[in-house]
Amino acid sequence: VGADVLEETRALLMKLTGRRKIDETPAALHETMETFGREKLARAEKVIDWADPAGLPRPNAFDEGKEALEDVLALANPIHRVREIHARADDLKRGVESIDQLATFREKWGPAFTELKSFATQLRGIEHLLPSGGTIQSFLGEYEAARAGARFAEPDIWKAIQGAKAGAALELQTLLAAWRDEAREIVEDTLDRLPGDLKQRVLEEEL
């Protein structure tokens, strides 16, 4: 392994692990990656176990990073592992960042995401009754964009969607109140007309 590969691999592992004291030898880099990689893979598996049934889409960086970790850890020879770490540096950097981001999201916002997804699904069921251009439509648009781009775990995106959800919930309450009033008026009007309708029907039957 060339000195430049060792140096760049060590710098990468220092950045990923936050450790400064890593010897610039294949054995030391191999061992550092073993501990770090196993920890990140375990974290990624927890995310997958939750995300798949919860319906949270994963970014490509997450899956590519997980694959890169698995490929690196599959190599038992320190020299081969160092070369693979160096070759997959970009996938590892983006992947570890994505794994950490989704793991943190799961731990902090898991139940909130499940509630959000359920709310969006319910709104989709009555979308044909909703006014165009309202806050509910805006929320559904932001939700769909985040789902399509697998961006729910990004702090700015999540904060915006939570705000949109609050606005959509308020609009829904207003709509429900209006629909209840309309339904009440229909019922009251029907009851008011009922005696006359019955009387008319009796007369028609007698004739």
Cα–Cα distance measured from residue 119 to residue 90, given in angstroms and rounded to the nearest whole number: 37
C-beta separation of 155 from 109 below 8 A: no
Burial class (CB in 10 A: 0-12, 13-18, 19+), 42: exposed
Predicted local confidence at residue 57, as pLDDT: 96
Predicted local confidence at residue 206, as pLDDT: 60
Burial class (CB in 10 A: 0-12, 13-18, 19+), 87: middle
Number of residues that make up the chain: 207
Predicted local confidence at residue 129, as pLDDT: 80
Predicted local confidence at residue 203, as pLDDT: 64
**Which amino acid makes up residue 120?**
A
Predicted local confidence at residue 204, as pLDDT: 62
Predicted local confidence at residue 8, as pLDDT: 95
Radius of gyration for the alpha carbons in the chain, expressed in angstroms and rounded: 29
Q: Is the dihedral of CA 162, 163, 166, 172 positive or negative?
A: negative
pLDDT by residue for the chain (207 residues), tens only, comes to: 789 999 999 999 999 999 889 999 999 999 999 999 999 999 999 999 999 999 999 999 999 999 999 999 999 999 999 999 999 999 999 999 999 999 999 999 999 999 999 999 999 888 888 878 888 999 999 999 999 999 999 999 999 999 999 999 999 888 888 778 777 888 877 777 777 777 777 666 665
- In sequence order, the 6+-apart residues with CB closer than 8 A to the CB of 160 are 142
Predicted local confidence at residue 174, as pLDDT: 87
pTM: 0.82
Cα–Cα distance measured from residue 207 to residue 205, given in angstroms and rounded to the nearest whole number: 5
C-beta separation of 171 from 135 below 8 A: yes
Instruction: Count the Cβ atoms, other than its own, within 10 Å of residue 100.
Output: 17
Predicted local confidence at residue 133, as pLDDT: 81
Name the DSSP class of 154: S
